[in-house]
Amino acid sequence: MADVSIPVRRPNVRLRLAGGWLLFMLLASVLAPLIAPHDPLAQDLLFERLPPFWLEGAEPGYWLGTDSLGRDLLSRLIYGGRIAFTVAFAAATAACIVGSVLGLLAGYFGGWTDRIVSRIVEVWMSFPPVLFSILLVAVLGTGLGSVIIAIAVIDWTRFCRVVRAEAMSQSRMDYVESARIAGFGRLAIMTREVLPNVLPSVVALLSLEMGIAVIVEAILSFVNLSISTDDPTWGGLIAEGRLSIHHAWWVLVFPLITLFLTVLSFSQFGEGLKARFDPVLR
């Protein structure tokens, strides 16, 4: 008698590690007023450039040290995460909605609808994204809302191209033709038949786009084009640390590590979700 074994699904370590880091950073950002050891804006020149807790000369309570103005680096990192995650979720969601709707329409209907949307995407993508975002923020003015709008306006084309290709492929499948024969309308076919099969790719791209949004916000804050207040941002911390790298390396290194791990986690989390829910990959 043949031995029939049921395949056991292995735990996705990549998904768990990336999700764990993102959850940790999200909770820290939301609970920043409760868990931050110090006021991120409070200055104390007597405590300027204190090293992290494991180095000689560290001061109790300043776990990651201080910057050139005596501000607690850990508190500033935590509060900077609030801005990073706000931009990530808001900008990526807005870009996802606009791009996915246009891509779904272009991929399913084809013809002149596809030609118009494709030409708009080609023109849009001819602009360098970083320079385009800097130009938009300069025109709109600094502020969190301007950063979110700039990222959404630039990056909707990513979703549009992916969803268009997926929708074009899915619309040729037999199950779509069966739905047409059964009398389903175009809107019902798009939302009930095509869209669910496109969602795994959209979810993966959405997570990746959140990481890209974090990078773009860091670049804009690095050149002082993000929020107009003194609130800490990861890009701003990196800009400050660059000036004191020879005297206080931790002011630059810790924001860089935090930014790198967050962006990497967004990317790996999206890939892990796609591998988990995409029926083809499973």
The partner residues of 72 in beta bridges, in order of sequence, read 66
In the prediction, which pLDDT does 8 show? 47
In the prediction, which pLDDT does 143 show? 83
In the prediction, which pLDDT does 262 show? 95
Closest-CA residue to 21 (of 276, 272, 266) = 266
In the prediction, which pLDDT does 6 show? 46
CA angle, corner 35, sides to 34 and 41, nearest 5? 85
Q: Are 105 and 160 in contact (CB under 8 A)?
A: no
Q: In whole angstroms, how large is the CA radius of gyration of the chain?
A: 23
CA distance 156 to 94: 8
Query: For each of the chain's 282 residues, which pLDDT tens digit applies?
Result: 444 444 445 657 888 899 999 999 999 999 999 999 999 998 888 888 999 988 888 888 899 999 888 899 999 999 999 999 999 999 999 999 999 999 988 888 888 988 999 999 988 888 887 788 888 887 887 788 888 998 898 889 989 998 988 888 877 777 777 877 777 777 777 878 788 888 888 888 899 899 999 998 998 888 888 776 678 999 999 998 988 888 889 999 999 999 999 999 998 998 887 777 665 555
Q: Are 197 and 175 in contact (CB under 8 A)?
A: no
Query: Which residues have C-beta within 8 Å of that of residue 103, sequence separation ≥ 6?
Result: 117, 159, 160, 161, 162, 163, 164, 166, 167
Query: 141: exposed, middle or buried (C-beta count within 10 Å: 0-12, 13-18, 19+)?
Result: exposed
Q: Tell me how far apart the terminal alpha carbons of the chain are, to the nearest angstrom.
A: 28
Q: Whats the size of the chain, residue-wise?
A: 282
Which amino acid, 23?
L
Domain range 24-29+43-48+62-277, its CATH number among 2.60.40.10, 3.50.50.60, 1.10.3720.10, 3.50.30.10: 1.10.3720.10
Domain boundaries, the chain: 24-29+43-48+62-277
Q: Are 234 and 84 in contact (CB under 8 A)?
A: yes
In the prediction, which pLDDT does 10 show? 60
In the prediction, which pLDDT does 243 show? 85
> pTM of the predicted model, to two decimals?
0.86
